[in-house]
Amino acid sequence: MLADSNLIIYAARPENQFLRDWFKSEAPSVSGVSYVEALGYHGLTQPDREFFESFFAAARVLPIDASVLDQAVKLRQTRKMSLGDSLVAGTVMAHGLSLATRNVRDFTWIPDFPLFNPFDQPSALGTTPT
Protein backbone atom coordinates (compact mmCIF):
# COMPACT_ATOMS: atom_id res chain seq x y z
CA MET A 1 0.00 0.00 0.00
CA LEU A 2 1.11 3.56 -0.72
CA ALA A 3 -0.05 6.43 1.49
CA ASP A 4 -0.92 9.68 -0.27
CA SER A 5 0.51 13.00 0.91
CA ASN A 6 -2.79 14.15 2.39
CA LEU A 7 -2.79 11.31 4.91
CA ILE A 8 0.72 12.18 6.05
CA ILE A 9 -0.30 15.81 6.49
CA TYR A 10 -3.49 14.87 8.36
CA ALA A 11 -1.47 12.55 10.61
CA ALA A 12 0.50 15.56 11.87
CA ARG A 13 -2.67 16.92 13.49
CA PRO A 14 -3.22 15.79 17.09
CA GLU A 15 -6.89 15.02 16.45
CA ASN A 16 -5.90 12.36 13.92
CA GLN A 17 -4.14 9.96 16.26
CA PHE A 18 -5.97 7.11 14.48
CA LEU A 19 -3.88 7.85 11.37
CA ARG A 20 -0.61 7.74 13.28
CA ASP A 21 -1.73 4.40 14.74
CA TRP A 22 -2.66 3.21 11.24
CA PHE A 23 0.76 4.19 9.87
CA LYS A 24 2.45 2.28 12.70
CA SER A 25 0.39 -0.87 12.17
CA GLU A 26 0.27 -0.91 8.34
CA ALA A 27 3.66 0.69 7.53
CA PRO A 28 2.61 1.80 4.04
CA SER A 29 5.18 3.06 1.58
CA VAL A 30 5.15 6.68 0.46
CA SER A 31 6.12 8.40 -2.77
CA GLY A 32 9.05 10.75 -3.12
CA VAL A 33 6.38 13.27 -4.16
CA SER A 34 4.95 13.17 -0.64
CA TYR A 35 8.37 13.98 0.78
CA VAL A 36 8.48 17.15 -1.31
CA GLU A 37 4.84 18.07 -0.71
CA ALA A 38 4.99 17.70 3.08
CA LEU A 39 8.47 19.03 3.85
CA GLY A 40 8.52 21.56 1.03
CA TYR A 41 5.52 23.58 2.21
CA HIS A 42 6.68 27.19 2.63
CA GLY A 43 4.53 27.83 5.72
CA LEU A 44 5.62 24.74 7.65
CA THR A 45 5.70 25.17 11.42
CA GLN A 46 8.62 23.81 13.45
CA PRO A 47 6.48 21.11 15.16
CA ASP A 48 5.16 19.96 11.76
CA ARG A 49 8.68 19.97 10.30
CA GLU A 50 9.87 17.77 13.17
CA PHE A 51 6.91 15.41 12.73
CA PHE A 52 7.49 15.07 8.98
CA GLU A 53 11.26 14.63 9.33
CA SER A 54 10.70 11.87 11.88
CA PHE A 55 7.98 10.30 9.74
CA PHE A 56 10.08 10.20 6.56
CA ALA A 57 13.15 8.93 8.43
CA ALA A 58 11.09 5.86 9.38
CA ALA A 59 9.08 5.49 6.15
CA ARG A 60 9.89 3.55 3.01
CA VAL A 61 10.06 6.34 0.43
CA LEU A 62 9.72 5.01 -3.12
CA PRO A 63 11.74 6.91 -5.73
CA ILE A 64 10.43 8.60 -8.82
CA ASP A 65 12.16 6.34 -11.33
CA ALA A 66 11.66 5.71 -15.05
CA SER A 67 8.81 3.23 -14.55
CA VAL A 68 6.94 5.75 -12.37
CA LEU A 69 7.52 8.50 -14.93
CA ASP A 70 6.26 6.29 -17.77
CA GLN A 71 3.04 5.50 -15.87
CA ALA A 72 2.54 9.17 -14.96
CA VAL A 73 2.95 10.22 -18.60
CA LYS A 74 0.36 7.66 -19.74
CA LEU A 75 -2.11 8.90 -17.14
CA ARG A 76 -1.63 12.56 -18.05
CA GLN A 77 -2.04 11.71 -21.74
CA THR A 78 -5.38 10.11 -20.89
CA ARG A 79 -6.86 12.81 -18.69
CA LYS A 80 -5.95 16.14 -17.13
CA MET A 81 -4.52 15.63 -13.65
CA SER A 82 -2.01 17.36 -11.43
CA LEU A 83 1.64 16.48 -11.72
CA GLY A 84 1.73 15.35 -8.08
CA ASP A 85 -1.30 13.07 -8.46
CA SER A 86 0.07 11.58 -11.66
CA LEU A 87 3.40 10.77 -9.98
CA VAL A 88 1.68 9.27 -6.94
CA ALA A 89 -0.62 7.19 -9.17
CA GLY A 90 2.35 6.25 -11.35
CA THR A 91 4.18 5.03 -8.24
CA VAL A 92 1.18 2.89 -7.27
CA MET A 93 0.97 1.40 -10.74
CA ALA A 94 4.71 0.83 -11.19
CA HIS A 95 4.93 -1.03 -7.88
CA GLY A 96 1.61 -2.90 -8.06
CA LEU A 97 0.27 -1.28 -4.88
CA SER A 98 -3.02 0.17 -3.70
CA LEU A 99 -3.43 3.82 -2.72
CA ALA A 100 -4.58 5.04 0.68
CA THR A 101 -5.91 8.58 0.32
CA ARG A 102 -8.67 10.86 1.50
CA ASN A 103 -8.99 12.22 -2.05
CA VAL A 104 -10.33 9.08 -3.70
CA ARG A 105 -12.31 11.06 -6.29
CA ASP A 106 -9.02 12.22 -7.87
CA PHE A 107 -8.21 8.62 -8.77
CA THR A 108 -11.52 6.74 -9.26
CA TRP A 109 -11.37 7.21 -13.03
CA ILE A 110 -8.24 5.07 -13.33
CA PRO A 111 -9.23 1.50 -14.30
CA ASP A 112 -8.32 -1.28 -11.86
CA PHE A 113 -6.79 1.19 -9.41
CA PRO A 114 -7.33 -0.02 -5.82
CA LEU A 115 -8.19 2.74 -3.37
CA PHE A 116 -8.63 2.90 0.39
CA ASN A 117 -9.81 5.89 2.44
CA PRO A 118 -8.99 5.44 6.15
CA PHE A 119 -11.44 8.23 7.01
CA ASP A 120 -14.32 6.23 5.52
CA GLN A 121 -13.45 3.01 7.32
CA PRO A 122 -12.59 3.96 10.91
CA SER A 123 -13.93 0.70 12.30
CA ALA A 124 -11.30 -1.17 10.27
CA LEU A 125 -8.71 0.93 12.09
CA GLY A 126 -10.23 0.39 15.52
CA THR A 127 -10.79 4.11 16.13
CA THR A 128 -12.94 6.98 14.97
CA PRO A 129 -11.58 10.00 13.10
CA THR A 130 -12.51 13.48 14.27
Give how far the C-alpha of residue 103 lies from the chain's centroid of Cα atoms, to the nearest Å: 10
Residue 11 in any domain: the answer is yes
**103 in any annotated domain:** yes
Q: In the chain, how many domains are there?
A: 1
Full residue range of the structural domain in which residue 111 is found: 2-17+27-120
Phi, psi for residue 116 in degrees, rounded to 5: -145, 130
Q: Determine, yes or no, domain membership for 130.
A: no
In this structure, is residue 53 part of a structural domain? yes
What pLDDT, on a 0 to 100 scale, did the predictor assign at position 125?
47
pTM for the full model? Answer: 0.88
Report the pLDDT value the prediction gives residue 122, as an integer from 0 to 100.
Answer: 56
24 has pLDDT over 60: yes
pLDDT(31) > 80: yes
- Asked whether the beta carbons of 5 and 34 are under 8 A apart, the reply is yes
As a whole number of angstroms, the distance between CA 93 and CA 68 comes to 8
CATH number of the domain bearing residue 47: 3.40.50.1010
Is residue 22 pLDDT above 90, yes or no? yes
Judge whether 93 lies within some domain.
Answer: yes
Q: Which amino acid is at 95?
A: H
For the stretch 40-81, pLDDT in tens is 999 899 999 999 999 999 999 999 999 999 999 999 999 999
In angstroms, the first-to-last Cα distance of the chain is 23
Mean pLDDT across the chain: 92
Q: Is residue 89 part of a domain?
A: yes
Residue 82, domain member (yes or no) = yes
85, pLDDT greater than 50: yes
DSSP track, 105-126: GGTTTSTT--EE-TTT-HHHHT
Q: From the CB of residue 10, how many other CB atoms can be counted at a distance below 10 Å?
A: 18
Q: Tell whether the model's pLDDT for residue 15 goes beyond 50.
A: yes
pLDDT at 61: 97
